[in-house]
Structure 1
Amino acid sequence: MSFASDQDRHQAFADGVFLLKIPTELDVGAADQFANQFYRGDASEYGHFKSITACQFGDGLLGFHERVDQIEQFLLERRFWASHYPAEVADTGEKMTALSRQILCAALDYAGIPARVWTQATGNCSHGGGAYHLTFNHYRAQLAKVGLSSHKDDGFLTILRTTQPGLEVNRFDSWERVPCAPDKFVINFGLSMEWLTARCNSPVAAILHRVARQTEDRSSFGHFSSSNFLPRDRGIFNYCPIRGLQRVCDARELIDNNDREIYQGTFYSGDMPDDLS
């Protein structure tokens, strides 16, 4: 991954958002089609995924669900990709995972965090062993609501594929529309990265973002990279150049608290287990 200049690199990491040219070996065609069909509940190639709900995964945020804003989603954790996503979509997810590792390592190097602590600092995300989610989004233009409420992502970074306007980021207390281009991914960093690098000489920001109310049909998909939650790696860390890594909180605690804020009011399809309803 390269930038046109050192200044461009600094701006990208300091803002917490930038555009990245989609690698030629990463074909997004099947994932684009999935994003445009998963919510239909019809006979289209991917239309039946609307019937696959959280009940099948033991996690209230996985599978198909609707939210109180315009968005409806289909979301799966990496361990379910091969068994539930079509092979061509799962392959896209794996290639995005490899790309996310490259971006993460570039950000850690920029921040000045020594490579010897990357594995612990990122819950093995720096070596491709983190937790990864692939999500598909559809915005219901018929609902007179905001597209997606303002928030920061909780993980290390997000790779977003969007070809229609609507995504906005907050810079200097002002909302700006993010340009969309068919040959670019939008990269943004989350709270795990912001907390990890906060005391570094070159910190990486988590960008506050939202999707404005949509008046036309809109779909997108995204890939999220987070700590793997395993006991040996568990924790969200802050790196101090003098003291080294310091644990801030439990990784699941950060993500659950942030998800409660983002996903409050989610409507789940189907009957939920008692402990998830």
Structure 2
Amino acid sequence: MKTHKINMQRAIIYQDALLFKTPFSLRAAIEQGLFLLKIPETFNLEPGIKLCREFYLPATSSTRYRGFRPQTDIYFDREHFQTEHLLVDKTRWATRLPGAVVKMVLAMDALGQVILQAALRELGVAQALWASASGGAVTGQGTHWFAASHYRPERHLPGCAEHQDTGFVTLLYTRQSGLEAFIDGGWQPIEPEPGYFIVNFGACLELLSAQLPLSARAIKHRVRECPALPGQEDRFSFATFINPPASADLYEVQPLGELRRLISAEAFLRRFNERTWQDRHASFGILSEQTQGTPNE
């Protein structure tokens, strides 16, 4: 199937409001499953870029950006893909990440909360249900992740598995090709746009809104194999994710407005990990309350 340029909606956040060019653009973005968000001029993305370029390198005494591979509670080697990445939850950002990265991630996470609130409003979910339906994620509770990814060109494997994001909202920064989304029956390239985050909605929001007149789409996406290119750096990306806590339940809003329990978030995540990654990290993205935020390994 031929590929074609995907026309994505564009938005900005101004005074804690998500703004599109037309009143119907948010609806279109929700139905498509992704859109572009203008990166605020005050954002400094360099700490995230530096972390992605260095986290997999041997540690040195002069920087906190290197030496993460031995930290197996937050470092993950995807054995069937080019991807290696860090995944750090909000409770550990301040202690495990460089301070400049923490500042950037907190700002990205705040944008994600604005987007989630706007999406719930557009979907017609009563505000009184937001906290229960999201496990508190809509107001900064729940589980908030930061991921930094490096794609190893020496591995002749797919870049990243075909998947849907599991949570509610994802903000992604990348500036290299490789990302593809399943649109109109085929895999289409999603090229990065300078000065924009790529925003996509996750499976929790799709499940929550499935019975509503307007329902969100958790778009399937993947990263194709990223070969070494002369004079160019390895592909990298970083993202924030807003998810319910693993201890919560996932819900579906019924046509009359009430919530119906579907499945526990932990059970949903374990099924996702087994189906998507097929590796030893069955507890990827699941926090243990007993260990106060350390992934079960």
Which letter maps to 2:21?
A
Number of residue equivalences: 261
Structure-2 change in CA distance of 1:120 and 1:53 (3 Å) = same
Q: 1:40 aligns with which of 57, 62, 68?
A: 57
Indicate the residue corresponding to 2:40 in structure 1.
23
How far did 1:228 drift?
2.2
- 8 Å contact kept, 1:41–1:51: no
Determine if the alignment matches structure 1 residue 258 to structure 2 residue 251: no
Residue type matched to 1:189 in 2?
F
Measured against aligned partners, the alpha-carbon deviations of 1:3-39 in whole angstroms (never above 9, x if no partner) come to: 1113322221101111111122332111111011111
Rounded to whole Å, the distance in 1 between the matches of 2:181 and 2:109 is: 24
Say which SS state the counterpart of residue 49 (structure 1) adopts. Answer: coil
Counterparts of 1:105 and 1:264, CA distance in 2: 33
Task: Name the Cα RMSD after superposition.
Answer: 1.9
The answer for the alignment partner of 1:239 in structure 2 is: 253
2:219 matched residue in structure 1: 207
Residues 207-247 of structure 1 deviation map (CA, whole Å, 9 limit, x = unaligned): 000001101321111111100245xxx21000013151111
For structure 2, the residue ranges without an aligned partner over 5 or more in a row are 1-17, 229-233, 283-294
Q: TM-score, normalised by structure 2?
A: 0.83
Distance 2:238 2:105 in 1: 10
Aligned position for 1:9: 26
Q: 2 CA distance for matches of 1:221 and 1:213?
A: 18
CA distance, structure 2, for counterparts of residue 195 and residue 146 of structure 1: 28
Matching residue's letter, 2:267: E
Structure 1 residue runs without a partner (length 5+): 55-61, 269-274
Matches of 2:281 and 2:253, distance apart in 1: 38
Relative to its length, the structure with more helix (as a share) is: 1
Q: Per the alignment, in what secondary structure is the counterpart of residue 5 of structure 1?
A: coil
Counting only pairs closer than 5 Å after superposition, residues 1-277 of structure 1 correspond to structure 2 as 1-41=18-58, 43=60, 45=63, 46-54=65-73, 62-216=74-228, 217-230=234-247, 234-266=248-280
Indicate the SS of the match to 1:204.
Answer: coil
Separation in 1, partners of 2:280, 2:150: 14
TM-score (norm 1): 0.89
1:276–1:246 distance in 2 versus 1, CA, 3 Å = closer
Q: Which runs of 4+ in 1 moved over 4 A?
A: none
Larger RCO of the pair (alpha carbons < 8 Å, separation 6+): 1
Q: Does the 8 Å CA contact 1:123/1:229 hold for their aligned counterparts?
A: no
Give the match's secondary structure for 1:160: strand
Structure 1 residue 276, shift from structure 2 partner: 5.6
The offset of 1:181, in angstroms, is 2.2
